[in-house]
Structures are given as C-alpha cells and as structure tokens.
Amino acid sequence: MPKKLTLLVALALSSLILAEDAKKNILLLAGKASHGPGAHEHNAGSLLLKKCLDESGLAVESTVIQNGEWPSPEQLAVADTFVIYCDGGGNHLILKDDRMQQLAKEMKRGGGLVCVHYGVEIPKDKGGAELLGWMGGYFETDWSVNPHWTANFKSFPAHPISNGLQPYAMLDEWYFHMRFTEEGKLTHVLSATAPEETMNRGDGPHSGNPHVRKAVAEGLPQTVAWAFERPDGGRGFGFTGGHFHKNWGDDNQRKTVLNAILWTAKADVPAEGVTSKVTPEDLAANLDPKGKQSKFEGNPSLPGASENPAFCAACKH
C-alpha cells in the first residue's frame, strides 16, 4: 500500500477512535415497579429517555439498568452521568449494600447526577447530606411536600438546560419546598407558584408543615427542577415531576430532562435543546405489569384528580 494511502487510512481510523472516545456515557438506573398503572414507570420511563438519546444524533451512548439492579464497577467507572429514576425514601436504590460508597467514588471524580421524581427523596440522616452535596438539593421529610397540582412554567433562566423550552403547564406530582444547599452554584430551572389547594392536606412528613404553608400563603415561587454546579466541578440536576408516565409525551417536559442529562454529562446542549419524538406506541412500550388501572391513576387530566385525596394513596410514600 502506498505510504500516502497508508497515512490517510491511519488518520481516518484515528478520527473514528477519537469520535468514539468523545461520546458521553449515560447510565440510567431504573427502580422496581411501583404504584399503579401509568405511574412511577421507572423502567419504561428510563427506556424511553434512552430511546430519545439514542435517536438524537448526538455523541452519546446510553445504558439502562432495570428493576433496581446495580451496574458493574466497570459500568460505573465509565459513566459521565447517572440518571436515577426510582422509589426513594428509605427504599432508595442507592441505600442498598455499599452502593452509596460506590456512587460517592464516581461523584468524587466529577460524575454527573440526575434524580427524577421520588428519586430526589432520601432520609435526612441516611443520604441527605450526600444528595445535598451531589445534586444541590433534595426532598427532606417534614420540610418538603408532594401534592398533585398543575404547575405553569412561564419563563426559564439563561441556562443550557433551558435551551429550546417553551412555556407550558403540566399536572404532575410536583414536589416543592426542597432543601437546598448554600454551596456551589444553584439554578432554579423550573419554578411556579403553587396554588393554595396544595396545602389542603394536614401537616405530615410529606403533606405540609408551618414553613411551607407560610411560603405558599405568601405566593413565593416554588422550584420543582434545579441545576447544580458543585464546587468540585461536578454537576447535578433534580427533577420532581415524572409521576405520570404519559407526561413524557410532552415535548417540553421531556426536553427539560434530556437537556439536563447532557448538561450533567458535560456535553454541549444544542441551541434548540435535545429534539425528540415520542408516539403513543412509544409511551405504551415497556410498561410494568401492574394489574387493573384505577379511576385516576395514569389519567391526571380527569376532573377532580388533583383535588382527590385518594387520587394516589401510594403517594403518601
């Protein structure tokens, strides 16, 4: 083979190798089946986000670990960001065995972290300090609350995660009054004014407390999604929506999380945001077998759903 041609082939191969190395590795950790049909669809939701990432044409490579299982040390070591969509509280998937210590190692090297819905909640005395440091905020019982309400997002901050977002409104189980850190750089990505009805329940670990009642009465905007730049250079993102699987069909809701996944992986977010298309068939794919659907579960648009205290009994967590 002529020397010139050999050189061209070598350069082409080098370019391919560099392009492959430049890909951001996304590791999505999905929790076990939970709640009724159409809610807390951790596996289906994670697989849907993977589908959107894989079809985006961006330099990413994504893997989903399903049903609360844990990745291998090799998978952990190469991930640029971790997306955790699972039940939280004392059953949070990172609390099992030595998973917290393993994740801490990856955070120390600069790995990103995205927690979705119930995954933002963890006991204050067992993981609270870690999520606060890695993600900039978390759901703290007897401080934060978890009502179902329609949040109206009218504007967004100047931040890569906001790229391509348009004002939208969505009924979801939007947690708010989160516990936030005073360190690092925190950006309130999605904020809305919670209606007074969100305080209709009595005080409890998840339903209300004097501090949040005062904030709602004063009409203070409540943050339901935030971005965090850690002092060590790592990035985190908390997203409290994601209760209803059907909401992933909304372009803006989906784009918010897809943009955040890229950003926490330290990848450039396109000016128009991550463009993706989801069909009804896509939403129906990979759902966990959960039996008969209840009157309200999975149908948040039904009248009275957000006001009905029995709307989602499991949401008492």
Q: Helix, strand or coil for residue 153?
A: strand
Average confidence score pLDDT of the chain? 89
CA 228 to chain centre: 13
Where residue 1 falls among pLDDT bands split at 50, 70, 90? low
pLDDT at position 291: 72
Query: pLDDT at position 290, please?
Result: 86
pLDDT digits (tens, 9 = 90+) for 28-49: 999 999 999 999 999 999 999 9
% of the chain at pLDDT higher than 90: 83
pTM of the model: 0.88
Judge whether residue 7 has pLDDT over 50. Answer: no
CA proximity to 303, closest of 146, 150, 117, 145: 150
**Within a 10 A sphere around the Cβ of 104, how many other Cβ atoms?**
15
Local structure of 73: helix, strand or coil: helix
* Site of tokens 């399903």: 66
Strands 112-116 and 81-85: parallel
Q: CA 275, CA 252: separation in Å to the nearest integer? A: 10
HEC string for 47-60: HHHHHHHHCCCCCE
Which is nearest to 308 in space by CA: 297, 216, 243? 297
pLDDT on residue 17? 41
Q: Strand 185-193 and strand 179-180: pairing? A: unpaired
3-state helix, strand, coil in the chain (%, to 5): 35, 20, 45
pLDDT digit string (tens) for 62-111?
999 999 999 999 999 999 999 999 999 999 999 999 999 999 999 999 99
- 165-208 residue pLDDT tens: 999 999 999 999 999 999 889 999 999 999 999 999 999 999 99
Choose between 292 and 14: higher pLDDT.
292
Which domains, and CATH codes, for the chain? 24-290 (3.40.50.880)
Query: Using one digit for the tens of pLDDT, what is the confidence trace for 239-280?
Result: 999 999 999 999 999 999 999 999 999 999 999 999 999 999
- Please report the pLDDT score of residue 13 as a whole number: 45
